[in-house]
Structure 1
Amino acid sequence: MAIPTANLERERLLKLAEEYREKGYEVFFHPNLEDLPDFLKTYRPDMIVRRGEENVVIEVKSRSSLDSSSNQYLGNLAQAIERHPGWRFELVMTNPEDTTYSPKAEGSLQEHEIESHLQVVRQFTTQHPELALLYSWSLVEATLRLIAQKEELSLERFDPRYLVNQLATEGVISKSEYQLLMNSLPLRNSIAHGFKTIQITQNSVYELIELTEQFLRTLHTDDEAD
């Protein structure tokens, strides 16, 4: 018997709350207006967690619960949060398609291939920013897998959110790099699952391209150091 989407989302939310509490965060389920800062008064986030000066706004969704209206809401929410230091947005999918593949089986892109593809992305960023952002994300994700491999990290799975979180937790990527990736992930998800978004700009694509190039340079630097 299929589990209703609302139940899946609630179960995922409860699990996330437990994980954040174990890390020392204060958790607010469906926070009241008085628990929200002024810039979030018009939103109703699923959960907010706080620890020190770090504030995380969390939304849990499944593909079946996403539509054009919720997609626009999430995009606006992410944009509002991005403008405020100390705050970040986290969109968690309960049943992402990306958790089922194996990079080893598929043959993950290598450094020279990533560099070649980056040149292609730059060529159509101006006319096709949505396609360019999706393409750019695939390249930064491939690069992150190479970094994880070089750092000999043990990864349980390879979905984007888990990969980024693990590298940040291990201190392999910086806080600013983590933030840029997490801000881009909701946009990537929207495009990948066929939803419209008005949040994408050429600059958001160039940021991903430049970040990928930076990660690639890190790989080369490490090689030279060896």
Structure 2
Amino acid sequence: MARGEAARERDAQRRVARRYRMMGYDVVERPSPEVLPDFMDGILPDVVARSVSDNVVVEIKTHASLTGSNDLVAMAEKVSAHPDWRFELVVMDDATTAAAEISDAEFEARLARARHAAEVGSADVAFAFLVQLIAIVARDLAGRNGVGQRGKSDRDVLIDLGFEGIVPPPLLERCLAAVGQAAERMRMTGSDAVPSSEAVAELSDLCDGLRQLL
């Protein structure tokens, strides 16, 4: 992990920990295995927050680091299988998402991974995977159509795709709303941070809609 990215992750960790402390939770950042319950053997989360009625395991990732994070769904399942425990994924907004063409096979694999996460009750993990997939497909579209994207945020790339007439206005508005919702979730903690099944389904539909434009 690059030094700058590590520093941003520590800052995000402190913000999450501070929010839970303000809500009355007992919080441990980067807990050692000795202070974790037995069922979390092999899991080293970024933050654990506990209260009388709620216990939370928090993992912090960048959009880029979600790629290859196949353990997230398994971790979420393992935690959520225990009463009074839940898993929360916090995804930091990257400055940009790397541009690359996405094959049909990779698209289907990423979409299937997100849908599996939703099916096992890990809505926040599914949400993060799908937001990342929207960004990847948008940048693929930009690259194939000669739309500049160097140094631009995912939102700006989407806006340029709309300006060039590549993404139709109704789909563009929905994509921008989804990206905005992802940014808003970064400022939320607790049950309000868990996306609804409708929000996850909307993102899945948006991924399919963008893919049809490739």
**TM score, norm. by length of structure 2:** 0.50
